[in-house]
Copies of this chain bind each other. A is one copy, B any other.
C-alpha cells in the first residue's frame, strides 16, 4: 500500500472563555478567525475543544448546520480539516456531546459522541458548581470507530475522544486496536473541586491529571495526541488550560502558555508511531486478551473479602 501524506502540520486551537451572554454569531466569527490562522500556519488539520460554540453548560444545542456554515466554507477554501465539539440535538430529539471531523474539502467525514459522561444525573446538595452531564446528555452510542482519512489529505488513522474519555484507557485501546496513530481530544475541565471528604482539589493537580491521561495513553498506544482546552473563567467557574500536543513517546511537543485563545502548532510525522507499534506495543505479539475478560464482563468493581 502506497503511503500518502504522513508528515504534516497540525494545530491545536485552545479557546478562552465563551460567556453566557456572548452571541453565537460572534463566537463563530471568533472560531473561524482561529481556523484561518491555523491555515496560515500551514496546518492540515485544526482541533477545537469540546462544546466549542458555547459555554460549557449546554445552553443551546445545534439542530442544523446553518449557523456554522462559514466554518465549512473556510475549511474548503483553505484546504484545512478540523475537529469541532458541539452540543448535538438530533432529529429524534436526542442530546449528545458530540464532535465532528471535517476534511480538507469541507465535508463532514466522521462523528463521535462522548461515551464516558462524568458527574451525576441529579444535583448534589451543598456544592457550588454542579456537574450534571449525565442529566443533560445521553451516553454516546457510536462506540469508538477509528477513521481512516484520505491519504492525499493526511494519511492517518484517527480516533476522537471528548474530555473525560481521555482518562479511560479502554477508549484509547479500542481505537489503537484499529491502528490509531492520531488521537484528538477536546476538554472543559474545572480548575477546582472538592473531594468526597471535603478537601480541595487544586488547579495544578487537575492539570497534572489531564496531562498524565494524554501523555500516558499516547505512549501506551504509540500514537500522536492533541488535547485542547476551553479554559479561563467562564460564567464564574475556572477551567484549566494547558492544551498539549504529544508524541508517541508520551512527550509534550507543544503546550499552551495562556488561558485564552491560543494556537498550538506542531509538525508531526506519523511514521514515528511505527517503532512503538512494532516493538514494545506490538499488540499481536504481546497482548493477552484471554486474561482481560473482566474488562468486558464487569462494569463496576467486585471486591472479595479476606478468607482466613
Contacts and interface: CB of A to CB of B under 8 A. Distances in A.
Nearest to A222: B301
Place the interface of chain A in its size category.
35 or more
A250 interface: yes
A102 interface: no
Contacts of A281: 167
Contacts of A182: none
A148 B305 contact: yes
Interface stretch (A13-21, A54-62, A114-122): A114-122
A195 B288 contact: no
A170 B292 contact: yes
A179 B306 CA distance: 12
A251 interface: yes
A300 interface: yes
A220 interface: yes
Contacts of A129: none
A114 to B, nearest CB: 10
Contacts of A171: 291
Given A216-B216, A249-B205, A250-B208, A278 B173 contact: no
A287 B139 CA distance: 11
